[in-house]
Amino acid sequence: MFIKSAKFYDDFKVNKNYKLEAEQLRKIILNSNLKNCKILEIACGTGEHIKFLKNYFEIDGMDINPTFVSIAKEKNPECNIYQGDMRNFLIQKKFDVILCLYGAIGYLVNTMELIKVLGNFKNHLNDNGVIIIEPWFSPNNWLANKIHNTVIENEAMTIVRMGYGSPEGKIKFHYLVGKSNGIEHFIEEYEFALFTDENIRDAYTSIGLKSTFLSDLIFKKGIYINNRN
């Protein structure tokens, strides 16, 4: 996932308002009455949320992609950034808040894997802690059989990305990267699970988490806030 394109990831997210997202997360965390809060962001990407949240909390990050981990470390040298897979990671400490944003749980292939991963999150959570998850698309709002394209231009290069989403949740991206020495073409394919709200809530309940869904936020798909029952 994001193998060859990882170094261009921030270019494609230049209009994403990480600062406002982090501010809304900060308020949610403060409303949870957690003191001396320690946060772990799963699937932290290039560390943009961490860049803002570290001003208020002690925060670590983790991502499966080594390029993302390297970029996140450069942005946040004072933070611990781990390389690991949300399916089986083990960190020898616990946290008050675990974040998993930008629909990263969509990379899980089925509800059994979702339950397993949420259980691993819970194992890394302090007794009064919370898990905050931004979901991926559901079957009801997934835009299948459509072409999406993005163009990035700067002094160093021009990048054209064209993507197609299948009804099953698969995405195929074609990239054209033009530089002074020529044009490179490559393809990346991703497979996502399209969990329903019921799928997600049932998974939380099965591992003893009480879930609240917030929709009136900058996060277009809303977020789930999960506490221990």
Q: How many domains does the chain divide into?
A: 2
92 with 171, same domain?
Answer: no
23 with 132, same domain?
Answer: yes
**DSSP secondary structure, 118-185, as one string:** HHHHHHTEEEEEEEEE-----TTT--TT-EEEEEEE-SS-EEEEEEEE-TTSEEEEEEEEEETTEEEE
Report pLDDT digits (tens) over 145-183: 999 999 999 999 999 999 999 999 999 999 999 999 999
- pLDDT bracket for residue 229 (50, 70, 90): low
Nearest residue to 45 (alpha-carbon basis) of 78, 8, 19, 15: 8
SS3 36: coil
129 with 209, same domain?
Answer: yes
90 with 115, same domain?
Answer: yes
35 with 122, same domain?
Answer: yes
Tokens 């993005």 -> residue: 150
172 with 222, same domain?
Answer: no
In a domain, 1, yes or no: no
157 with 198, same domain?
Answer: no
CA distance 136 to 138: 7
Q: What is the reported pTM?
A: 0.94
154 with 80, same domain?
Answer: no
pLDDT score for 58: 97
Beta strands at 58-63 and 182-191: parallel, antiparallel or unpaired: unpaired
96 with 168, same domain?
Answer: no
Q: What angle do CA 115, 116, 121 make, to 5 degrees?
A: 95
173 with 220, same domain?
Answer: no
CATH number at residue 65: 3.40.50.150
Report pLDDT digits (tens) over 29-60: 999 888 789 999 999 999 999 999 999 999 99
Instruction: Find the domain containing 162 and state its range.
Output: 147-191
